[in-house]
Structure 1
Amino acid sequence: MVALLVLLAAAVAVVLLAPRTLAAGRWQVRMPRLALGLWLTAVLGGIACLIGAGIVGLVLAIAGSGSESGAAGVIMTVFAWMSLLAVGGTVVIVASGSAEVLDAVRRNRGSVLTLPHTVHVAASDWQLLVCDTDEVFACAIPGKPHTVAVSAGLVRELTPAQLRAVVAHERAHLSAHHELVLRLADLNLACMPRSGAAQRLRRSTSLLIELAADDAASRRAGAVHLANALVRVGRATGDVTVELRAERLAQRPCRLAGRLTPVAPVYERAVASLR
């Protein structure tokens, strides 16, 4: 019984406190990877507590009053079944939210992949698509192979160095499995759509994965090139947050640019093929 109470309390604490804690303050902007790691740890910890509570509740419910008699046995049995029902209800809510999130993911992917496009790079693990549209965008689509899609409008807007930085940014999303993190945040929001904490956590997660990808792309392609690309994209799309990300990079270009990693030949071929 004590184990069941502890597991349920831990699960509730994670659901209620983790979003508030991880979305508070400004430290996440400086250390986005750490913030994302803590967020994943909290989510997985909460899931583990729920699974554990379900198992313990099932064991207690089956045992019934075998170890207790009278009122104590009845209370234990009723509480165990109630806990099991609560865990089961949570599973149903999560399953429903998962279906909603997956539907949204499929729609978003379809909206990009159904555009007229040309494959400019087809490597063993990823491909680069250029979509024939004047809209300015770039996105990462996980799969086999992973896909980076950029628009013809973006290609016209950026220099080769800036375009290389944008492609590196999108590939950073793929290598770090950022879509999975974002799905978890979407699922959390789908399960608690009226929760202010869930809404803040979804916004924070969306920003953090962009900042983490910015840092990775800066090390590969240069903070100056990525910052300039973000400024151009922000002006073309009217997205103020993109320009704020550029300002963040501009405040520390030397530290990031001082440890550039070599650019793979496939990046050079990818950018060259777009010109």
Structure 2
Amino acid sequence: MWVSLALLALGVLAGAVAPRLLARADWPEREPIVALWVWQCVVAAVLLSFALSMTFSAAAAWQAVRGQMFATAPAAVVDAYALGALGPWSAALAVALACGGLWTGAMLTREVGRARARRRRQRAELLVRAPLLPDEEAGSRPLVLLEGDRPGAWWMPGTAPQLIITTAALRRLKGRQLDAVLAHEQGHARARHDWLLHCASALAEGFPRIPVFAAFRAEMHRLVELAADDSASKRYGRLTIALALVGLNEDRGVFGPCPTPHAHVPQRVNRLLTAEPRLTPGRRLRLTAAAALVPAVPLAVALAPGLSALA
């Protein structure tokens, strides 16, 4: 049972400390793809800690679970976990954590359902504004051009992702700027950023009082845009994508003194223009490897008593 409490404490500690450490780090904006990976590993470690804590608590509370979990384990291994140490509290903890897991699944299901309904509505509106030609099928157009007075370009995810661009954007963007915007949206599609955003939103909405999940959602929305900017700038240059962002957003008032829903755009433009050097390949590799080891910590805590008993 003490292993269950240690895992619970580890999950709480990781959820409290990791966001603060990442907020103080100076490298995520320089390496948004690595930062996305680090955040995913941290959240995976928190969820894994809670899941393992629930498993050991259930094993301590109910003989049926214990029999399945330690079916082939020697008696010394079972004794090493001291499953009966906290008595009835183990059942309460197991039930609480199980409810949290079920709630997480429900929130993710709701988020995916909302996204699908939103896409169906958007595709229906798209067919009204840009009807199919006689020989075309729904979803067969990877690029759709819409009549519009405001410059805009966006990606519509789904089984057949589509890039949408308005005629005003075609008039506003010059030369390679249009290609850079399309490359930015294609970067979202290739990396399947929509699923990452769905998971982050589900956790943040399901557990609004847990800071790590709120920070996870905020950082995912910011970092996926930076990652897509970098993906486009590799082919067309930072200046090109920066000018394209200015061209698409200068009529929205985002570059004025008053905050707007698109207040992140000036920060993205400044980042592209300042062009801070990337981390060295060695440091990127070390950060990636270290992040991959984070979810292994709760596994090590869970297995340590059993391995010690076998040694």
| TM-score calculated relative to the size of structure 2 | 0.69
Distance 1:254 1:97, change over 3 A: closer
CA-based RMSD of the aligned residues comes to 3.4
Q: Does 1:249 align with 2:264?
A: no
2:225 corresponds, among 182, 187, 210, to 210
Query: Percent of aligned pairs with the same residue?
Result: 27
Secondary structure of the corresponding residue to residue 30 of structure 1: coil
2:200 corresponds to which residue?
185
Q: Is the Cα contact below 8 Å between 2:32 and 2:223 reproduced in 1?
A: yes
The 2-side partners of 1:164 and 1:73 are apart by: 61
The 2-side partners of 1:14 and 1:61 are apart by: 26
Deviates more, 1:208-217 or 1:94-103: 94-103
1:86 corresponds to which residue?
96
Distance 1:78 1:56, change over 3 A: same
Give the structure, 1 or 2, with the largest relative contact order (CA under 8 Å, sep 6 or more): 2
1:62 corresponds to which residue?
62
Could you tell me how far 1:245 is from its partner in structure 2? 1.2
1:29 corresponds to which residue?
29
1:72-151 matches, cutoff 5 A: 76-113=86-123, 114-115=125-126, 116-117=129-130, 127-151=142-166
The 2-side partners of 1:253 and 1:157 are apart by: 28
Deviates more, 1:197-206 or 1:5-14: 197-206
2:10 corresponds to which residue?
10
1:212-231 matches, cutoff 5 A: 212-231=227-246
Q: Is the Cα contact below 8 Å between 1:118 and 1:129 reproduced in 2?
A: no
Q: Is the Cα contact below 8 Å between 1:19 and 1:198 reproduced in 2?
A: no
What do residues 37-85 of structure 1 show as CA deviations (whole Å, max 9, x unaligned)?
Answer: 11010122222222222222222222399999xxx98763312212211
The 2-side partners of 1:254 and 1:17 are apart by: 27
Distance 1:9 1:73, change over 3 A: closer
The 2-side partners of 1:134 and 1:243 are apart by: 22
What do residues 99-153 of structure 1 show as CA deviations (whole Å, max 9, x unaligned)?
Answer: 442244235434532222368999x998122234334332223332222222333
The 2-side partners of 1:195 and 1:41 are apart by: 17
What do residues 234-255 of structure 1 show as CA deviations (whole Å, max 9, x unaligned)?
Answer: 2022334223312211222999
The 1-side partners of 2:164 and 2:30 are apart by: 28
Secondary structure of the corresponding residue to residue 86 of structure 2: helix
1:171 corresponds, among 177, 180, 186, to 186
Secondary structure of the corresponding residue to residue 77 of structure 1: coil
1:235-274 matches, cutoff 5 A: 235-239=250-254, 240-252=263-275
The 2-side partners of 1:128 and 1:119 are apart by: 12
Q: Is the Cα contact below 8 Å between 1:100 and 1:190 reproduced in 2?
A: no
1:156 corresponds, among 136, 153, 171, to 171
| TM-score calculated relative to the size of structure 1 | 0.77
The 2-side partners of 1:103 and 1:232 are apart by: 34
Secondary structure of the corresponding residue to residue 27 of structure 1: coil
Distance 1:76 1:215, change over 3 A: same
Alignment-mate amino acid for residue 273 of structure 2: A
Q: Is the Cα contact below 8 Å between 2:60 and 2:83 reproduced in 1?
A: no
Secondary structure of the corresponding residue to residue 105 of structure 2: helix
Alignment-mate amino acid for residue 226 of structure 1: I
Distance 1:196 1:5, change over 3 A: closer
Secondary structure of the corresponding residue to residue 62 of structure 2: helix
Q: Is the Cα contact below 8 Å between 1:140 and 1:147 reproduced in 2?
A: yes
Distance 1:254 1:112, change over 3 A: farther
Deviates more, 1:197-206 or 1:41-50: 197-206
Q: Does 1:45 align with 2:39?
A: no
Q: Which runs of 5+ in 2 are unaligned?
A: 68-74, 255-262, 279-311
1:259 corresponds to which residue?
none
Could you tell me how far 1:175 is from its partner in structure 2? 1.4
Counting matched residue pairs gives: 251
Secondary structure of the corresponding residue to residue 176 of structure 2: helix
Secondary structure of the corresponding residue to residue 149 of structure 2: coil
